[in-house]
Chains A and B, each alone.
Chain A
Amino acid sequence: MIHYLLLPFFSFLFIVLQTTVFELLFLNLVSVEISLILVIYAGFHMDALKGGLLSCALGFFLDVITGTIVGLHVILYLSIFFISMLVSLRVYAERSLFILSYVLACALLECGVMLLFYKHIQGLDLFHKFDTVFLPQILVVTLVSPVCFNSFRRFGDILNVRVERSNKRSRNR
């Protein structure tokens, strides 16, 4: 129960840190979406309810704080979470190379969906920003993903995922 109570607070804090401290670490040159890596990590290691709620909360707070249309990141994160959950049932998702490739694919998917959404729903063509804004973000997120995965593992106790991960693996076997 404590998990569900702490989850919104944790998500909020995470997004605030992402938009302040994490961006400072990258000298405000590029905005790094660590929350995407967390969603993927949750998809690999958490159950549907906890991970889904975490993805929802992260997406909601990201939308509110960054000023995106509320619900866009929520649906994107939920989709990525559920896809990751399905993938983790079929693939051994602990190798760095796989994490790198998978995060790259998810980041590209997110970017593509966002660009298409803005173009067709909002009438804003942002494709010209792909090279200058989106691609550097995607590359940086991809490169830092293994490090982030290791960090999330260390904070696994707080996220209460250790037991679930072992349960999931035993189910896979």
Chain B
Amino acid sequence: MLFFKKHRSLIATTILVVISLVMLSYHVVNPSVEPGPVRKIVLDLAVTMERAVNTPVEALENIWKRYLFLIGLKKENRRLVQHNALLTRQLVQHQEGYLEAQRLKKLLALSESISYETVAASVTGRNRKSLHQTIMIDKGSIHGIKTGMPVVADRGVVGRIIETTGHVSRVLLLIDESSNVDSIIQGGRGQGILSGDGNSRCFLKYVPKLEEVRLGEAVITSGICGVFPKSWLLGTVSRVARGESGLFQTVEVLPSVNFAKLEEVLVLTSPKKGRND
């Protein structure tokens, strides 16, 4: 007993060193050993305490960063606003590109389905203040476009070329008062001349009163005059009025193409070889 008391420090030292060496050797030999209960408890407690310490510290840090330490924030804000504007512009451009691609895809499908050689063109301008309902397209005579050629879109007939230069052409729309297209009512096969009213509608002229015309019936091109190919959709009957006098009835037609939103069109240049329409 006296020996232990006398050499207490030496014994304690030896025991501690031996324990630590055993501990280290064990963990070196078994590096992936599962943590024991003591280690688990220590870790759990440590994490809990760290959270308890960190929560107010983080709160203080947040207050400091958000409300007090605002050096450079104005500059950063300006930079972010500019960056945001740039990204918004890019996003709009990308969306625009996507929508254009969708429209062109439709137009391409249309171009492949019809028996005419076509030239695709974009609408570059509208003469809103003009007396005539016309649009400008970005293709002209060097692309093979000539006066009188029909212009169509995926939904139906747009009009015809009335003027062309090297790189641009003017299209007279169906809704113009001077536009006249020989037409047929698809159901009853009654014929007439489709003219525009100068705004957004058309009238089918010279349809006899005896002819049965129903609302919603499709009006298509007759192909008689040779300007427009046969059976192209022009619009649908939106109103029929039979006056008491006269030989003809008034048939109002709603064009199938929305001219206000028209962006791409196809100009039918000539029939494809080997096909007759």
Q: Is A20 a contact of B16 with CB atoms below 8 Å?
A: no
Contact of B27 among A49, A69, A78 (CB under 8 A): A69
Contacts A69-B27, A69-B28; is A56 near B16 (CB within 8 Å)? yes
Report the Cα distance A17→B52, complex, angstroms: 11
Residue-wise, chain A 35-61 has the 8 Å CB interface mask toward B (1 for contact) of 000000000000111001101100111
Q: Which of B9, B12, B21, B23 has the most A CB atoms < 10 Å from its CB?
A: B23
Which residues of chain B in 215-240 are interfacial with respect to chain A, using CB atoms and an 8 Å cutoff? none
Do B20 and A56 touch across chains, with their CB atoms under 8 A apart? yes
In the bound complex, residues from chain B placing their C-beta under 8 Å from that of A52 are 12-13, 16
Which residue among B8, B19, B22 has the maximum number of chain A CB atoms within 10 Å of its CB? B19
CB distance from A89 to the nearest CB of B (A): 12
For chain A, give the interface size range: 20 to 34
Expressed in whole angstroms, the minimum distance between the Cβ of A61 and any Cβ of chain B is 6
Check: A97 CB closer than 8 A to any chain B CB.
no
In the complex, B247 has a CB within 8 A of chain A: no
A-B contact number at CB 8 A: 79
Task: Give the distance in Å from the alpha carbon of A82 to the alpha carbon of B16 in the complex.
Answer: 11
The closest CB in chain A to the CB of B54 belongs to A20
Q: Are B46's CB and A78's CB within 8 A?
A: no
Are B13 and A82 touching (Cβ within 8 A)?
yes
Chain A minimum-CB-distance residue to B45: A12
Min C-beta distance of B30 to chain A, whole Å: 10
Tell me how far the C-beta of A152 lies from the nearest C-beta in chain B, rounded to whole angstroms: 21
Q: CA separation between A169 and B53, bound complex, in Å? A: 39
Known: A70-B27, A74-B23. Is A64-B43 also a contact (CB below 8 A)?
yes
Inter-subunit contact B9/A47 (CB<8 Å):
yes
Q: Which of B1-60 contact A (CB under 8 A)?
A: 8-10, 12-13, 16-17, 19-28, 31, 39, 42-43, 45-46, 49-50, 53-54, 57
Report how far A64 CA is from B44 CA in the complex, Å.
Answer: 11
Q: Is the CB of B24 within 8 A of A49?
A: no
> Which of B12, B42, B49 is close to A49, meaning CB atoms less than 8 Å apart?
B12
Cβ of B21 and Cβ of A75 under 8 Å apart?
yes
For the complex, is A121 an interface residue (Cβ under 8 Å from B)?
Answer: yes
Return B54 CB to nearest CB of chain A, in Å.
6
Alpha-carbon distance A65/B39, docked complex (angstroms):
9
> What 1/0 mask marks residues of chain B from 181 to 197 whose CB sits below 8 Å from any chain A CB?
00000000000000000
Bound: A13/B52 CA distance, A? 12
A49–B9 contact, CB under 8 A?
yes
**B43: shortest Cβ distance to chain A, in Å?**
6
**Cβ B39 vs Cβ A70 within 8 A:** yes
A53 and B16 contacting across the interface, CB-CB below 8 Å:
yes
Partner of A78, one of B17, B28, B31: B17
Of the candidates B20, B45, B46, the one whose C-beta lies within 8 Å of that of A71 is B20
- Whether B24 pairs with A64 at a CB distance below 8 angstroms is no
When the two chains form the complex, which single residue of A59, A64, A121 contacts B20, counting CB atoms closer than 8 Å? A59
Report the nearest A residue to B8, measured CB to CB: A49
Are B53 and A20 neighbours in the complex by a CB distance under 8 Å?
yes
Least Cβ–Cβ distance between B229 and chain A, in angstroms: 77
**Complex interface residues of chain A between 82 and 124 (CB less than 8 A to chain B):** 82, 121
Cα separation A31 to B20 with both chains bound (whole Å): 24
Task: Tell me, in angstroms, the Cα distance from A69 to B19 when the chains sit together.
Answer: 15
**How far apart sit A56 and B22, CA to CA, in the bound complex (Å)?**
13
> Smallest Cβ distance from B109 to chain A, in angstroms?
61
Q: A55-B16, A71-B23 are in contact. List 11 more A-B contacts (CB 8 A).
A: A17-B53, A21-B53, A61-B46, A69-B27, A69-B31, A70-B27, A71-B21, A71-B24, A72-B24, A75-B21, A121-B28
Q: List 20 A-B contacts (CB under 8 A).
A: A16-B49, A16-B53, A48-B8, A48-B10, A52-B12, A52-B13, A56-B16, A56-B20, A61-B42, A64-B43, A65-B43, A69-B24, A70-B24, A71-B22, A71-B23, A71-B24, A71-B26, A74-B20, A78-B16, A78-B17
> Would you list the 6 A-B pairs with minimal beta carbon distance, nearest first?
A71-B24, A48-B9, A71-B23, A74-B20, A49-B12, A20-B53
